[in-house]
Amino acid sequence: MIVMGLETSCDETAVGLVTHEREILANVVLSQIDEHRPFGGVVPEIAARAHLDHFEGLVRRAMDEAGVGFEDLDAVAATAGPGLIGGVMVGTTAAKAIALVLGVPFVAVNHLEAHALTARLTDGVDFPFLALLATGGHCQLVIADDVGAYRLLGTTLDDAVGEAFDKVAKMLGLGFPGGPEIERTAPDGDAARFAFPRPMKGRPGCDFSFSGLKTAVRHAVAALPDAALGDADVADVAASFQAAVGDILVERCANAISAFREHHPKARTLVAAGGVAANQTVRRRLGELADQREMRLVVPPSGLCTDNGVMIAWTGLERLQRGRTDELDFKARPRWPLDPRRVYANGAARPA
Ligand code: KG4
Ligand code: ZN
């Protein structure tokens, strides 16, 4: 069984091909970073047009790389949300058209589910597992009970963690996207120089908050003599910020592990996924936590943590295997919560 996946929800146009034997036949990713860099962030209109310009060539490249023809495809999947709606519409429309012409099923994939399920492709992780989804648009802790069955333990009350990396990098005059830039700069810095806050620390539950940390970085930068940033200052802020993020993620994940164990006393897997899980400091810190709590940490390789078409193809395949395909009138969704009940672990309603 071979499934193609299209990813167009943000600033990567990507196509992946996978098999039911967990084989990656093709993984082509075109980053639009150069097109968005002058604006210091992703411009939705530019992204949508770029997806439209590039997806066809990428589909061909993926097929060539895999050495397969359209007649070999068993289904076509696309990210149908959450994400920038213009781009999501390009991907879903393209996937629907290919599926219609081939007479094979179309699968609408939730982008966050795809990040979570990547660990099943790369490491054969079984359900249930606990997942930290740390991306540019989200920061969530969920219990993954099965394909399509997630329980939200916590989410960010303000900024996503990747967004915090991007904004801090911008304050420091580093490039975009900020996560890899902060990671590259931090090893030269002193993580103890700035005592940045750890929002939510000590509070029960698994929610996150990053805006206070971001504001603290802004104030620290402004308070530098003449507000002039030397290389050492940049490295120290990056290191101190990254250390704070590590502490925050570890502290909230520790609470999530306790909540997860109440639901699944014997389960032992913590998955970290999404672009921020590509960060080596984050991986190391989560690994230490997992060891302490007798959990197994599974993090996909960096290139499969950041956005890609392989994770969409894999999620499409998992859904296809369970007969969960979609109609061609499936509408792209700018918002698409993984847990439609949208409740906290304690049963309280979650703010919208
Ligand atoms: O999962 P992703 O590729 O796209 C979304 O679904 O949002 O995540 C992108 C985010 C960006 O904010 C980027 O700065 C961050 O992930 N990121 C990183 C690293 N690589 C990407 N953050 C920290 N360290 C990294 N190495
Ligand atoms: Zn993503």
User: Within a 10 A sphere around the Cβ of 352, how many other Cβ atoms?
Assistant: 6
- Which residue, 111, 2, 159, 161, is CA-closest to 337? 111
- CA angle 155/250/334 to nearest 5° reads 25
Q: Which ligand is nearest to the CA of 242?
A: 1
**Which numeric CATH code is attached to 2-116+304-321?**
3.30.420.40
Nearest CA to ligand 1 atom 14: 179
- pLDDT for res 351: 40
- Which residue, 16, 22, 250, 26, is CA-closest to 119? 22
- Which residue, 99, 49, 56, is CA-closest to 78? 99
β-strand partners of 271: 131, 298
Q: Which ligand 1 atom is the nearest neighbour of the CA of 278?
A: 26
Which stretches of the chain score pLDDT less than 70?
342-352
The domain ranges of the chain are 2-116+304-321, 127-303
- pLDDT for res 344: 47
Determine the distance separating the centroid of ligand 2 and the alpha carbon of 311, expressed in angstroms: 10
Residues with CB under 5 A from ligand 2 (ion): 135, 307
Q: Architecture of 127-303 per CATH?
A: 2-Layer Sandwich (3.30)
The reply to whether 2-116+304-321 and 127-303 are identical in fold is: yes
Q: Which residues line ligand 1 (CB under 6 A)?
A: 10, 135-137, 162-163, 165-166, 177-180, 183, 274-276, 278-279, 306-307
- pLDDT for res 342: 63
Nearest CA to ligand 1 atom 6: 135
Determine the distance separating the centroid of ligand 1 and the alpha carbon of 274, expressed in angstroms: 7
Q: Which ligand 1 atom is the nearest neighbour of the CA of 138?
A: 7
- pLDDT for res 138: 96
Concatenating the DSSP letter of every residue in 22-73 gives: S-EEEEEEEE-HHHHGGGTS--HHHHHHHHHHHHHHHHHHHHHHHT--GGG-
- pLDDT for res 97: 98
